[in-house]
Structure 1
Amino acid sequence: MELRRLNGHGLSLTMNLRDQVLERGYALMPTWRPERSAGDVATSLGEPLSLGGRDPVHALAPAAKETSTPNTYSGLYGVQGFPFHTDMAHWRVPPRYLMLRCVVGFREVPTMLIDGAELAREVGLKLLARAIVRPRRPVLGQLPLLRIYQPMEEGAILRWDEVFIKPASRAGDEGSAQFREMLSHCKYRSIVLAAPGDTLVIDNWRMLHARASVPSGCEGRKLERVYLGRLH
């Protein structure tokens, strides 16, 4: 699948979606086919994942702490900003990609991205590959031991979530502390999903993402999320 994008000089270039995501860690498609459903768009872009047999399309909307499910980001942070993380970091193999699609958006509430691969190289891949972590709570009745940086046949998984995974070794303590320190000084890129159809595809094995705080008047923000196992 080919997309049109703008380079830094405003010139239009054609690039395959998968190549663009692998090159930069993400791809942004402004007002991409707003008349189509998120499920249809996700299927056109790649292979949607149905987690636990549920609908692959998840509605995301700001919610106050007291009205949210405990042990979720909304339950912990409410309309405050979410910390940088990778999704499903407590899984052995997290979903490779995720798609965020705007239904109702506000420029005041961007999605923020950090290139975790660059950050991991700064900290040290050898240290992070030895850094053992585990889920804070059991996953399917187990507490699997995981690595912050996990080489795979196709690239490597970088997992990071200060809420749902915890160090489980001395190297895990050291790697987590150094990664957290470097992260606190990182510059991030703000991506605005404000118009219906604005669509962002993120490499979840590479990029850290976060939601900005939700100011008064922006509580009606609504995105739809789909996890993708691969891209076309």
Structure 2
Amino acid sequence: MTLNKDLATLENEEAAILQAITGPLEAQGYVSADIGEISPKTLLSVAYFFGEVIPIGRGNDHVTEIRTSAEVGSKNVPLHNDKSYWRIPPRYLILYCREANGFENNHMHVSDIHGAFLQLTEEERASLSERVLDIHHPSNRSSGTLQGKVVNYLNEEVFYRFRSDTIEKNWDAFNKWDQLVIDNLIEVPFNPGTLLIMDNWKFAHGRRLTSVVNSYSRNIDRVLIM
């Protein structure tokens, strides 16, 4: 489901528009909206409605610019939730597409990791819930590890650490869970001017290059929210 809501009038109708986003987000775990061109300041105005924005990066930026292209990112990105190697990952993730070139169908791929978990047997869920793992940064194993679980609870809310390229490959329960997540992939249109908000505790996202025509590039703003 995509919320086809023009948010160009955000400043005048902020309360009504944010409420329109909140309903689908709570019901299905993600929501996308065509908002057109907005400034980083307006993006932060949307983000602060959902919680406290987490500054990250060397400059402690509240909005992180992510640039990918065929030259620097010519591979699929496994389905994952952001910052799964943090002690407590961000609750919500906002992605805003500023530019996209070279795609036949420009999508962001998302999947319900919580829904997939509930499809497992009681024994498989127990296996995933009980084991303590070394959780590490997916691209920098030397940066230290966190002793943690893939299934966690905070204030009676469940959250997951999900990234298939950081989990041992011979774990049958995880492999089945991973396959269920892949089998239930949702393609969300993600053209310039699209805002995508998802529950980062229970939803995964990733990039598949099946829709690339030739070379490609994409510029995304990302905001993490606790």
- Which band: TM-score by shorter chain? 0.7 to 0.9
Q: Which amino acid aligns with 2:132?
A: I
Are 1:30 and 2:43 counterparts? no
Offset at residue 41 of structure 1 (A): 1.6
Provide the residue aligned with 1:179 in structure 2: 177
Secondary structure, in 3 states, of the residue corresponding to 2:128?
A: helix
Q: What are the residue-to-residue correspondences of 1:190-229 with 2, within 5 Å?
A: 190-196=187-193, 198-213=194-209, 215-217=212-214, 219-229=216-226
Are 1:82 and 2:77 counterparts? yes
User: Does the C-alpha gap of structure 1 residues 92 and 167 become closer, same or farther in structure 2, counting only changes over 3 Å?
Assistant: farther
1:25-54 per-position Cα deviation (integer Å, ceiling 9, x unaligned): 11111125x2x3234323333232102552
Offset at residue 199 of structure 1 (A): 0.3
1:42-76 per-position Cα deviation (integer Å, ceiling 9, x unaligned): 33332321025521212222235xx65xxxxxxxx
Provide the residue aligned with 2:110 in structure 1: 113
Measure the CA separation in 1 of the matches of 2:34 and 2:159. 28
Measure the CA separation in 1 of the matches of 2:22 and 2:131. 30
User: Does the C-alpha gap of structure 1 residues 112 and 160 become closer, same or farther in structure 2, counting only changes over 3 Å?
Assistant: same
Measure the CA separation in 1 of the matches of 2:18 and 2:82. 29
Provide the residue aligned with 1:17 in structure 2: 21
User: Does the C-alpha gap of structure 1 residues 131 and 19 become closer, same or farther in structure 2, counting only changes over 3 Å?
Assistant: farther
Q: Which amino acid aligns with 1:206?
A: K
Offset at residue 16 of structure 1 (A): 4.5
Q: Which of 31, 48, 55 is 1:50 aligned to? A: 55
Measure the CA separation in 2 of the matches of 1:107 and 1:193. 12
Q: Which amino acid aligns with 2:201?
A: W
Provide the residue aligned with 2:9 in structure 1: none
Tell me the number of residue pairs that the alignment of Structure 1 and Structure 2 aligns.
Answer: 202
Provide the residue aligned with 1:101 in structure 2: 96
Percent of residue pairs identical: 18
1:161-199 per-position Cα deviation (integer Å, ceiling 9, x unaligned): 122x3349xxx9343233234334x12111111132x10
Offset at residue 130 of structure 1 (A): 1.1
Q: Is the 8 A contact 2:3 2:21 kept in 1?
A: no
Q: Which amino acid aligns with 2:190?
A: L
Provide the residue aligned with 2:14 in structure 1: none
Are 1:63 and 2:80 counterparts? no
Provide the residue aligned with 1:74 in structure 2: none
Q: Is the 8 A contact 2:104 2:212 kept in 1?
A: no
Q: TM-score under structure 2 normalisation?
A: 0.75
